[in-house]
Amino acid sequence: MNEIITISKEIHFTAGQAIMELGYLISAIFFIVGLKKLSHPETARAGNLWAAGGMLLAMLITLVFHRNDQGEAISNWFPLVFSLLLASVIGFYVSKKVKMTAMPQLVSFFNATGGAASAIIAFMEFGSIPAENMGLVLVSLLGVFIGAVSFTGSMVAYGKLDGKVGDFKSPAMTYLNLIFLALTLALIAFVVFNQSEYTSNILLYTILGISLIYGITFVMPIGGADMPVVISLLNSFTGIAAAMTGFLYDNNAMLLGGILVGSAGTILTILMCNAMNRSLLNVIIGGFGSSQQTTTEDGGTIKEISLSDAAVLLAYSNSVVIVPGYGLAVSQAQHAVHELDKLLEKKGVQLKYAIHPVAGRMPGHMNVLLAESDVPYNQLVEMDDINPEMENTDVTIIIGANDVVNPAAMQNPGSPIYGMPIIEAHKSKNIIVMKRGSGKGYAGIENPLFGNDKTRMLYGNAKDSLQRLIDEIKNL
């Protein structure tokens, strides 16, 4: 009789494992479909829902069918389900309430929580791994290292984006970061090959401490227009750390999800580095964007334009290109700019938005901002596609953008952004720049475009200026 009961339990356990693995496979498919849909603004919302559905399925499957080595099911349902529901409510509330200007900060904060979770799991599991299983020991230590760096690095990025943390640029930081990185990797190697319970525990805390500090010193020198790349890189770190924890638990859903996030973040980071003509190595060692050099002024005279003249120029143009930047987000002018483009289109003006890969403070910031105001996706044109049209563009309106239209990147070999691909606004026939002042951009570099003979400045808050401009055009 006992043998029959034992066989029945084994069959039930095996069936449960099969269902769980099948559920993980379906979750993985959801992740892949979601990631594919995220590649285009028009399907990005659906992509998020697909990926969220895959994660929800993976969690429910685990709660219902997971069994330990003794065949026992999860018994502490209440704290797990309560935590899941509470976190979901908090996440939903925060996401709905956050302003578009604070979206990069929110992304950094969410990324920090993911890194922290992965580091904590790897840290807690370290003690239960047999010393002879060197592979799992290595994975656990790498999970602690990468997760901790992602946590503190993302929190520093959050502080910098929110204006609470300033840049700390010093040539010594590069060498300090290299020392931290080399020391951490050396300690990890030592623990893997020379384990004793006492030594390993001390070194585990040491690795955690250095990793937390390294995350801070790694991001602290980075500033200006380089932050979108850093956010993308930290996101890939969190994905890699999640993959490490999936490997520890032999959980295919967590493993594949982490691999997808890590690889997608890495690819995006490389693409953004290319878009800014920067080296990924400089990002890793913390030397990214630390140049203090500025461009030389070309002696051009900065000229203003009145609202009435700007209204006439736009209303009687054939083609207009709008280049959005972070100033558009700061002034919450996305709805006003869409009202302007609809008004101009009624007058027969062909209007497009030129999107630079690193405009704003996070990858895709301008796409998200304009999507909020229901700007049609076919009006959003990437940099490489819009540049050939700039010479034939009657008017280019630059709203809050600076570094991504700076011609010094093409004309001044002494500029720190020389070689960086830009939106070639300086080639258009007329240029209107909407800014609060004629100061430097976020990267701290002079912009000779402001003194260009074809450029006119329309000073003031972008939202207010756009609304007054709309009224002027309506009165023509």
Residue 250 among the catalytic residues:
no
Q: Annotated catalytic residue: which of 69, 162, 384, 403?
A: 403
- Write the secondary structure of the chain as one string of H (helix), E (strand) and C (coil): CHHHHHHHHHHHHHHHHHHHHHHHHHHHHHHHHHHHHCCCHHHHHHHHHHHHHHHHHHHHHHHHHCECCCCCECCCHHHHHHHHHHHHHHHHHHHHHCCHHHHHHHHHHHHHHHHHHHHHHHHHHHCCCCCCCHHHHHHHHHHHHHHHHHHHHHHHHHHHHCCCCCCCCCHHHHHHHHHHHHHHHHHHHHHHHCCCHHHHHHHHHHHHHHHHHHHHHHHCCCCHHHHHHHHHHHHHHHHHHHHHHHHHHCCHHHHHHHHHHHHHHHHHHHHHHHHCCCCHHHHHCCCCCCCCCCCCCCCCCCCECCHHHHHHHHHCCCEEEEEECHHHHHCCCHHHHHHHHHHHHHCCCEEEEEECCCCCCCCCHHHHHHHHCCCCHHHEEEHHHHHHHHHHCCEEEEECCCHHHCCHHHHCCCCCCCCCCCCCHHHCCEEEEEECCCCCCCCCCCCHHHHCCCEEEEECCHHHHHHHHHHHHHCC
Residues taking part in catalysis: 403
